[in-house]
Structures are given as structure tokens and as C-alpha cells.
Amino acid sequence: MSLTPSCQRIVDNLIRVRKRIEEAAQRSNRTSEEILLLCVTKGRCIEEIQILIKNGVRVIGENRVGEALEKFEKFGSVLSFHMIGHLQRRKVKDAVKIFDLIHSVDSVKLAYEIDKRAGSIGKCQDVLIEVNVSGEETKYGFHPGETIEAIREISRLPNIRVLGLMTMALLVDNPELTRPVFRALRLLKEEIDKLEIPNVKMQYLSMGMTQDFEIAIEEGANIVRIGTAIFS
Ligand SMILES: *Cc1c(COP(=O)(O)O)cnc(C)c1O
């Protein structure tokens, strides 16, 4: 079967992105197996996702619960779904049904709602805590200085398990400017690690997107969330 040009482009992009991840991993003395490429499929159609599946992708990131629900009906048995966008509390009931990891816990209130809804379906929901490292007013996430206290409180919830941290860097022309943001998140993760908070495991650092994923990997990311570089 020959692929249409746009299909072929996605396949080629995927190969290129995987290569770049591998090279960045080597620069941080790791292998690409230690880094999850989370393909961000928001706004992408069924056919595009099918190409990913044919080419070995098993985890996708979505930022809207409604859109993710539709895709889950089709691909829930072959793909693992991650929530990467801001999650409204009224959407949590559906979110806990489909997402294996929620990257975007940005308030303690949201965590309480996730705990309640996960508990009601007998699930323990894995989450990451979103940190607004750059301190931009427009962004979601905890300020670095309030993160540890928030994690302590969230860690007491029985149906939620904190597995790491997530951040979004500023959109900038020079990706090198994002490095301090990623470094700060890694240092915060290491600080939290040392506290050995019960029920908290600092396993994941979700940072880096198309513009800056190589720098994020160099600074310790083990989940990179990439959309544009794969689909454009
Ligand atoms: C869209 C999105 C991404 C992917 O961004 P690209 O620049 O397309 O790679 C990553 N993280 C979040 C939270 C997003 O909303």
C-alpha cells in the first residue's frame, strides 16, 4: 500500500523526531528508551492517529476532554491517553474514565475533585503537578514556592497518586531561553524527591514541546509532548 503524501510526511516526521530525541538523550547520558514521546493529537483526525498507531505510537496527549472522549471510543483499546490541557472541574468525571495520566493538576481543588471522581469508579488516578516556573500571569500551574505544600496536601488523597511534575516554557524565538525554566523544574523535582513524601513518587518530568524538546531532554525531561513537529 502506498501512502498519500501527507501520510508519508507524518511518518518521516516521526522518524526525525525520534532521532532527535535519541541524540538529545545521549547528550544527557540516557537512552531514548528512558524518554516517552507523547504525541500530541489535539485537533488531529482519526486517519492521522491511525498512521501513528501503524508506526508504533502507543500514547497520545489531548487537551480537551470532549475531543478525547470521541477518540477514546475508537482507540481506547490500543492507545493510552494523557490529559495535557487545563482541566475544568466539571469535566473531571469523564476525564478519570479515559486518562492514564493527567499532566495538568494546577490546583488543590482540582485534585480533590479528581480524587472524588476516581474513587467513585474504583480507580487510583495518576497525575503530574503543573508548575508555572516562569511565573507568567496567563499560565496555569502552581508557583514553585507553593508546590511542595500543595503536593503534601494532595498526597493525602487516597484515590490520586502524584508521579511527577509538568511545566510549559514561554514561547520564545530562541529556545535556549527556556533552559533555566526546565532546569528549575528538575531541581524542584530533586528537592521533592528528598522529602520522601508518602504516596508521592517523582518519576516523571513532563517538559518540552516542538520548539524546545531537545533542551528539555538535556535538562532531564523524560516525557516530551510533541504535536507540530510530527504533523506539520
Ligand atoms: C499543544 C501542546 C503541546 C504540543 O505543542 P507543539 O508545539 O505542537 O509540539 C504540548 N503541551 C501542551 C500542554 C499543549 O497544549
What confidence tens digit (pLDDT) does each residue in 79-109 have? 999 999 999 999 999 999 999 999 999 999 9
Question: Quick one: pLDDT at residue 3?
Answer: 66
68 contacts 49 by C-beta, under 8 angstroms:
no
Question: Quick one: pLDDT at residue 134?
Answer: 82
Cβ 8 under 6 angstroms from ligand 1: no
Count of CA atoms in the C-beta half-sphere (13 A) of 10: 23
Q: Over the stretch 201-227, which tens digit does the pLDDT of each residue have?
A: 999 999 999 999 999 999 999 999 999
Nearest to 42 by CA among 111, 122, 103, 93: 103
**Ligand 1 centre distance from Cα of residue 209 (Å):** 6
How far apart are alpha carbons 107 and 113 in whole angstroms? 10
**Ligand 1 centre distance from Cα of residue 192 (Å):** 26
Cβ 226 under 6 angstroms from ligand 1: yes
Q: Over the stretch 104-151, which tens digit does the pLDDT of each residue have?
A: 999 999 999 999 999 999 999 999 999 999 887 778 999 999 999 999
**Ligand 1 centre distance from Cα of residue 190 (Å):** 25
Cβ 82 under 6 angstroms from ligand 1: no
Cβ 40 under 6 angstroms from ligand 1: yes
Q: Which atom of ligand 1 is nearest to the CA of 209?
A: 9
Pocket test for ligand 1, best of 225, 228, 230, 231 (most atoms within 8 A of CB): 225
Q: What is the dihedral of CA 92, 94, 100, 101, to 10 degrees?
A: -30
